[in-house]
A and B are shown apart, each in its own frame.
Chain A
């Protein structure tokens, strides 16, 4: 009787949602069972993986230092280099990972890397733009930003360093020639859209 009942049942097709969940579970199962493959992995590949993890560690250290230090009126390059020294991290490891030669030269190929690094270390878009504008102003022959900001601050002033820095930059930028101003606007607009693209 039981056999008759069993034989009368056709192949059961699970509901689509159950099938999808079983597929997902199967994928995670395959992932976990990848352990055996570890033995077969090449030395150079493992070395690449370890170097990649080392880069992640370096960037995470920069992020932690940035959280402690916060905004300082420096150009982006000076800020990153200083942060790296404080965090005891190699700047070249970061630039190699991002595939750029210098943080100071902002062009179509380096801007995405600068935006990504800023996002990865928890720098806000506002801060990033100020750092970049400071670097841009320095090229133009500007006095040291830290001094200009200090000069502007008044006793009992509750505004932030970043606020003062933006005021100083507005003063400096008001004397830019139209071409130079247009170039800066282009850089800012490009960074704004790139920064928005990266999701941490």
Chain B
């Protein structure tokens, strides 16, 4: 589980290469692997089941059509590339349907144009930084920030410590993470292109 935070992309093997070779089965596999993920992700992003399904189907076509733009890079997986594009599709959907619902604040963070869609180097940097931390630190970050947000009491129970001690460990883990990331050039580049409060 700890590893899944630091390196959470599922294995897509040589799917991208096979799609570039125009293999029928590879495109089918892409649909089976990513279609349901798109739909689940869009529903979590606030879309109705019907809208999530329609957007997921559009994403399958549109992202598969961009396969020739995918470049294999070290530390950056195919699924992360696909995810970064689908994230923009969700943001675009909300932009187009702004009159229906307010744009969720967390979706306006990464305003990337369609032709600039790449894997986010800063997210890769966070993943890598977390992977250099101790197992306990990784576990605390996972429990607090990924999936269900656990309370300090729950985290304390898991580690056999008080909730205050859990809070301190979380505090230190994040401080450490922040220190590591502040020295990472990818974060600096990312911060200079983002509007940060």
Contact = CB atoms under 8 A, between A and B. Distances in A.
Contacts of A37: 36-37, 39-40
- Indicate the size class of the contact surface on chain B: 35 or more
A52 interface: yes
Contacts of B167: 6, 9-12
Contact of B61 (A23, A41, A97): A97
Nearest to B60: A52
Contacts of B196: 16-17, 20
A110 interface: no
Given A34-B40, A46-B36, A56-B60, A29 B30 contact: no
A12 B174 CA distance: 8
B27 A34 contact: no
Interface in A119-161: 120
Interface residues of A, number: 52
A33 interface: yes
B31 A50 contact: yes
A49 B56 contact: yes
Given A32-B8, A50-B28, A21 B122 contact: yes
A53 B61 contact: yes
A30 B168 CA distance: 26
A199 B88 CA distance: 13
Contacts of A18: 174, 177-178, 181
Interface stretch (A59-67, A72-80, A183-191): A59-67
A177 to B, nearest CB: 41
Contacts of A45: 35-36, 39, 53, 56
Interface string A35-46: 101100100011
B57 A49 contact: yes
B35 A49 contact: yes
Binding site of B, secondary structure by majority: helix, strand, loop or mixed? helix
A200 interface: yes
A5 B172 CA distance: 12
A9 B61 contact: no
B100 interface: no
A14 B35 contact: no
Nearest to A15: B178
A122 B168 CA distance: 56
A41 B177 contact: no
A24 interface: yes
B4 to A, nearest CB: 8
Interface string B156-197: 000000101101101100110110010000010011001011
8 contacts: A6-B165, A12-B167, A12-B175, A14-B174, A23-B106, A54-B24, A56-B64, A60-B68
Interface of B: 4-5, 8-10, 22, 24, 27-28, 30-37, 39-41, 44, 53, 56-58, 60-62, 64-68, 79-80, 83, 86-87, 106, 109-110, 113-115, 120, 122-123, 126-127, 141, 145-147, 162, 164-165, 167-168, 170-171, 174-175, 177-178, 181, 187, 190-191, 194, 196-197
